[in-house]
């Protein structure tokens, strides 16, 4: 009797996914070829398909991973200080230093809008988590007297999230670090 044993994968799936995220961030879905992916990921074409499915499935896995990581990084910054306004400031400030690097979330929305239900689901799930966490901190900042009492927390949270997108797009368009910092400060000033 002959037993066939599956060969173990010769690569780290998570590292390969992170490499794919880098390619998709810079080139988008349409601008990324399978050849670019296998070269950057350090795997064979068959391993790519066996592990991740087709290019679209890999892209969705990349967007999902990226969205979760970015959302968690925002939440960590948001909750990094006892006073809510300091946490909000930390969250806004974390966007500026890395804004020149392409954002896979913003890129995927620009490339596909709401035309792909699987991407819409990923984006909406991440947005719900981030939005609700920001709203809670904004409400706390109102209770602490640090932001305007008549500010609508839901609208303000949406404004902050849109500001992150604007900062990232401005950076990709060539805005300087000083200009990006000014955009961040204006976003915070709008809360008062």
One-letter-per-residue 3-state SS of the chain? CCCCCCCCCCCCHHHHHHHHHHHHHHHCCCCCCHHHHHHHHCCCHHHHHHHHCCHHHHHHHHHHHHHHHHHHHHHHHHCCCCCHHHHHHHHHHHHCCCCCCCCHHHHHHHHHCCCCHHHHHHHHHHHHHHHHHHHHHHHHHHHCCCCCCCCCHHHHHHHHHHHHHHHHHHHHCCCCHHHHHHHHHHHHHCCC
**Percent over 90 (pLDDT), the chain:** 89
CATH code: domain 60-189 is 1.10.357.10
Domains of the chain by residue range: 60-189
User: How does pLDDT run across 1-35, given as a tens digit for each residue?
Assistant: 444 444 445 678 999 999 999 999 999 999 999 99
User: What's the average model confidence in pLDDT over 149-160?
Assistant: 97
pTM, rounded to two decimals: 0.89
pLDDT at position 172: 93
pLDDT at position 111: 96
pLDDT at position 10: 67
Predicted confidence (pLDDT) at residue 156 exceeds the cutoff of 80: yes
pLDDT at position 9: 53
The mean predicted confidence, pLDDT, of the chain is 93
User: How does pLDDT run across 42-70, given as a tens digit for each residue?
Assistant: 998 888 889 999 999 999 999 999 999 99
């Amino acid at each position: 009797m002959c037993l066939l044993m599956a060969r173990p994968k010769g690569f780290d799936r998570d590292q390969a996914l992170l490499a794919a995220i880098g390619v998709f961030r810079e080139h988008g879905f349409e601008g990324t070829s399978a050849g670019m992916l296998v070269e950057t990921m350090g795997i064979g074409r068959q391993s790519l398909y066996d592990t991740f499915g087709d290019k679209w499935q890999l892209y969705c896995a990349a967007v999902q991973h990226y969205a979760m990581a970015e959302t968690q990084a925002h939440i960590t910054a948001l909750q990094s200080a006892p006073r809510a306004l300091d946490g909000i400031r930390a969250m806004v400030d974390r966007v500026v230093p890395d804004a020149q690097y392409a954002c896979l979330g913003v890129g995927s929305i620009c490339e596909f809008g709401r035309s792909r239900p699987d991407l819409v689901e990923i984006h909406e799930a991440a947005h719900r988590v981030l939005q609700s966490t920001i709203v809670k901190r904004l409400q706390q900042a109102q209770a602490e007297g640090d932001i305007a009492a008549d500010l609508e927390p839901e609208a303000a949270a949406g404004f902050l999230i849109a500001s992150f997108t604007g900062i990232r797009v401005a950076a990709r368009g060539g805005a300087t670090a000083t200009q990006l910092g000014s955009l961040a400060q204006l976003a915070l000033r709008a809360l008062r």
